[in-house]
Amino acid sequence: MGWLRGRWSRHDDAWWAFLMACTAVIVAFVLMPSSVRYVLPVVLSAATSPAIVAGVRMHGPPSAGAWYVLAAGTVPYAAADAVWGAYQVRGEEVPFPGPVDGLYLVAYLLFATGLLMLTRWPAGRAHWAGLLDAGIVTLGFATLSWVFILGPYTRSRLPPASLAVTVAYPVTDLVLLCLAARLVLTAGSRGPSFLLLVGWLVTTLGADALYYGTVATTGSAIAEGVSEVGWMVSYACLGAAALHPSVARMAHAQESGGLALSHPRLAVMLALSLLGPAIVVCNVRGIRGDPSHIAVLVGMMAALAVLLVLRVSLLARYAQARAAEARGRARALEESLREQSVLQQRLSHQAFHDPLTGLANRLLLGEGLEHVVRRHPAPPSAGLLLLLDLDGFKYVHDTLGHPTGDELLVAAAHRLLGGVRGGDLVARLGGDEFAVLVEELNEDNVSEYVERILGQFRDPFVIGDHRSINVTASVGARLIREPTGATDTLRDADVALYVAKAEGKNRMVLFEPHMRDNSQDHAGMAEALRNALSRDELLVYYQPVVDLATGEIAAVEALLRWARPHGGLVPPDEFIPVAEETGVIVPIGAWVMRQACLQARRWREALPSHREIAVLVNISGRQLRDPGFADTVAGVLRESGLDAGSLVLEISEGTLGGGGEAAAAQLATVRGRGVRISLGGFGSGAALTCLRDVPIDIFKIDPGVVLSTDTARDDLLVRAIVDVGRGLGLDIVAEGVDTLEQADRLRALGCPQAQGFRFGRPMPGRVMEWHLLTRANGLPRPNA
């Protein structure tokens, strides 16, 4: 029992405790034979009001005001029960009409008001649909009420006051029925509290109908105890509805009103609309013998017909609106499908085409190539794959900027399209690399076909601000004569393209099988070069730079050499391009710089007279593009202990071509720390641009200029270069001086320093140290 009391003490179980208590009272009422039992309904009706108030206080429903009005309605109801019960206990007849009737009618008025406040009123057509449905239900039951209750009352010979009070009861029941129907028909989800509230209405109206119907038809109440039990059950349902926790959500469940008619609702409405005609046809209670009653029924049926017509009209308009909405949704869906189709086409195009040029991309080229390599036309025709690379594009991109580079790529794509046939596939593979796939072409016409494409690049490109840019193309070609793999075909064309660029660019090279072997040799060299540093296969040689006036060594240039275990020395022009291409030049270049600085520091300690000798280290464009290059230089100087002014970093015009502004910024950083910069190959190209854009301390005259100093015109050129250097405050070194005559002429033209075989070939560090030592001690100088 303690556990049970604990459960009932919880708010969530209060409704259950109230129902059990009410059930006990109802059972006592049924079993108690004496008239004293009529005190029990008073107990239930009196307990309902505080139960409702307690439920509202515990759960706080949004429609609290409506529940308080319902609670107020139970007060006169309980008072009327108390007066009526007192008469029953005393065995006296209850006065009619009297105070009891007034209290009951006031209670019904408050109940109607509470239901009206509790009912939500949807906006628009849903509001009228709910009203029409409630009206149809009310009129349908009104026909029954007229036949069995109201009609008999009007035919009785009651005094006007008694008749008015008598009729007021069923009329108020019809009002409650209308509000109840409105509440039920417009409800959304139905929780326990809502169902208990409906139970209160059903038992109240049912008990009233039983009581007033038997009184009207027989003159006295039949089964009065049954009606009393019904009223007591209604008290229990109303109080429990307020106490149940779902009362807090019930108002939200009544905010939807439906325009559509469900099958059960339609069946109920049809049945109610046929009640009147059925009563007339069956002549229930001799209704056809009284014209006045027939007139009332006909009026009710007419009103019911009008409501049905209005409801059907509203339903038709609702159906039209839904149909219009459906058509709108269909149009929206059709438009959405069309947009989706367009989007799919766009995405498909984007998936297979380059976004910049609009050409096919690598994926579409791969699909086309798969088709061509499987088809292989019969000789003398063959398929053809061309890979094109724009010569000098990287320099244009780095010096003129990304937008200009993009414009150049678009213009190159248009020219490519102008040089191919209508059915040929032109693709951009990335960067400045393009491809042309020809499904079938006579082998004799391949050269002519490629020449027509190369001809598209002979005229300068006019880009942006009408700037004229000269860009040529290198082409690697691969004939497709027999079934092969698409990947192998693409690789072979790429090998041919590599050969075309290596042979001088602006040309076409047709793939031959031996090129694949060369490519494999190239790949093998790249792999061996990656391990050369860890295997101690790399060497640093040094070549002197002399002062032409005194013959003294002013600096030495560090030169990289590679001694393969079984192949001897590898020429620098063979392995250095491979190192730059693979990126291995970055760690190797840092190693060369470290070895050269350490060697220079040893020479300065061993030969105090040569403390001013600088060491020149060549720097590649790949090193300058490394973000950590400036930090690498600082680390080498710190590790070696060499003064920054004794280190000279030598670059070339080609070195800057791949670095642009970033390379110049790197050089400016290291120069700001005291390291000097030397520009090699001056006089061979557009080196004047480098003098303008890059901080330079030294420049070297290109060997090609030095070798051509045999005429007065050549002498004027050398003198002009020397004057430019002096005017800019730069040190000048002539490269490639191999003979005494060249040295004497350069000295006469004012060139201060020179480098070449005349003064010494590249030599190992120890040989160079001996070379310096012999000069310091005045020994005979070795003749190179």
Could you tell me the mean pLDDT of each successive run of 10 residues in the chain, 784 residues long?
40 81 85 74 85 87 85 86 78 77 85 80 58 73 72 72 76 79 69 85 82 69 75 87 82 47 67 70 68 74 76 73 84 87 80 88 89 78 90 77 87 91 90 91 88 89 77 90 82 87 83 70 74 86 92 91 81 82 87 93 81 87 86 92 91 64 82 89 60 79 74 81 87 90 89 92 89 66 43
Residue 543 in contact with residue 614, Cβ under 8 Å?
Answer: no
Compute the distance between CA of residue 103 and CA of residue 113 in angstroms, rounded to an integer. Answer: 15
Q: Which residues contact 354 (CB under 8 A, 6 or more apart)?
A: 360, 361, 427, 428
| 753: β partners | 547, 733
Which amino acid makes up residue 527? E
Compute the distance between CA of residue 645 and CA of residue 650 in angstroms, rounded to an integer. Answer: 14
The pLDDT assigned to 520 comes to: 58
Calculate the alpha carbon distances from 145 to 179, 254, 540 in Å. 17, 28, 120
Q: Does residue 380 have a cis bond before it (omega within 30 degrees)?
A: yes
Q: Is the dihedral of CA 305, 309, 314, 320 positive or negative?
A: positive
Q: Which residues contact 664 (CB under 8 A, 6 or more apart)?
A: 656, 693, 694, 695
Question: What is the 3-state secondary structure of 664-721?
Answer: HHHHHHHHHCCCEEEEEEECCCCHHHHHHHCCCCEEEECHHHHHCCCCHHHHHHHHHH
DSSP state of 763: B
* pTM for the structure as a whole: 0.46
In our burial notation (b when 16+ CB lie closer than 10 A, e otherwise), range 426-451 reads bbbbeebbbbbbbbbbeeeebeebbe
DSSP 63-106: THHHHHHHHHHHHHHHHHHHHHHHHHHHTPPPPSSSHHHHHHHH
Helices of type H across 251-290: 263-273, 275-282
308 CA to centre of own chain = 54
Helix (H) / strand (E) element for 562: namely strand 553-564
Q: Which residues contact 696 (CB under 8 A, 6 or more apart)?
A: 677, 678, 679, 690, 728, 730
Q: Is 465 helix (H, G, I), strand (E, B) or coil?
A: coil
Q: Is 423 helix (H, G, I), strand (E, B) or coil?
A: coil
Residue 259 in contact with residue 314, Cβ under 8 Å?
Answer: yes
Closest to 519 (Cα-Cα) out of 542, 482, 494? 494
Closest to 201 (Cα-Cα) out of 183, 186, 225? 183
Closest to 478 (Cα-Cα) out of 591, 565, 381, 386? 386
Compute the distance between CA of residue 50 and CA of residue 69 in angstroms, rounded to an integer. Answer: 12
Residue 169 in contact with residue 208, Cβ under 8 Å?
Answer: yes
Residue 372 in contact with residue 439, Cβ under 8 Å?
Answer: yes
SS3 content of the chain, % helix, strand, coil (to 5): 65, 15, 20
The pLDDT assigned to 505 comes to: 81
